[in-house]
Amino acid sequence: MAVSRLNAVRRPLILALLALALVPAAASGAAPEIELSPDGGADFGETQAVTGKLTGAFGAPLVGRQVVLEARTYPFRRPFAPIATATSGLDGRFAFERAFDRNQRVRVFVPETGERSRFASVYVFPPAELTFSLVRRNVIEIVQTYRTPKDITLTAPTLFYVGRRGIATAPRAAKAGTLPVRRKGKRVRGRFRATARVRIPAAWKGRFRYASCFPYNAGMGNPELGCPKRRYKF
């Protein structure tokens, strides 16, 4: 009789412990990992996606959980701040789509679990248009124009490369200041231009190819890319 009573006491106790063990697993989750698309960055005005997945015990998806997108804007002096919210789907995945105006550091926060992802760097490039015109025989003028947010000022110079057509690389031919566009004497906010004149060897018989590069500057672009110092590879 004593044995039966002991078993009767143990059984509810074991069931209670199992129930307690299951509660944290259902409510907790691993720190989410996030991905950026496109992963190399995008031009100003284009949309970038921040995606990820919430998982709990044994990798099971966490469904219907609120996810907060937090961002820290260049020059990264201010703390992260929430900028958007989403809810995880049936597979635990979540997604944010946003057109960022300059480089950001982003991460996601899950209020229910208190977990935060590691931050990822969002790169935003100034959209550019490269053109040329013939100034005189064997002399061309190359113009690179940029579009940026209205409160951005580009200060880094633009590098130009010109080489003979059919050659896989081109040497650096000019370095020009990147200056605000002006119309009727007034600065056009969010518009910049760099201009250079380059002499083309007569032996090329007018056949050439050209390129330009603008380095990371004013929180726009990828600081890890840089510009070729001597030759540009097409």
Domain boundaries, the chain: 30-124, 126-233
pLDDT at 15: 41
Instruction: Measure the CA–CA gap between 39 and 69, rounded to whole angstroms.
Output: 17
Residue 234 is encoded by which pair of tokens?
């097409």
Please check whether residue 92 is in contact with residue 29, taking contact to mean a CB–CB distance below 8 angstroms. Answer: no
pLDDT at 23: 41
Residue 19 has pLDDT above 70, yes or no: no
**CATH number at 126-233:** 2.60.40
Residue 222 has pLDDT above 50, yes or no: yes
pLDDT digits (tens, 9 = 90+) for 36-87: 999 999 999 999 999 999 998 888 999 999 999 999 999 999 999 999 999 9
Query: Average pLDDT of 134-162?
Result: 97
CA 122 to chain centre: 2
The DSSP bridge pattern shows strands 124-125 and 42-43 to be: parallel
Residue 34 has pLDDT above 50, yes or no: yes
Do the domains 126-233 and 30-124 match in fold?
yes
pLDDT digits (tens, 9 = 90+) for 98-114: 999 999 999 999 999 99
What is the dihedral angle through the alpha carbons of 147, 153, 155, 161, rounded to the nearest 10 degrees? 0
Lowest mean pLDDT among 26-30, 80-84, 210-214: 26-30
Residue 5 has pLDDT above 70, yes or no: no
Instruction: Measure the CA–CA gap between 34 and 71, rounded to whole angstroms.
Output: 13
pLDDT at 166: 95
Assign domain 30-124 one CATH number from 3.10.129.10, 3.30.450.20, 2.60.40.10, 2.40.50.140: 2.60.40.10
Angle at the Cα of 216 from the Cα atoms of 213 and 218, rounded to 5 degrees: 125
pLDDT at 139: 98
Q: How many CB atoms lie within 10 A of CB 79?
A: 7
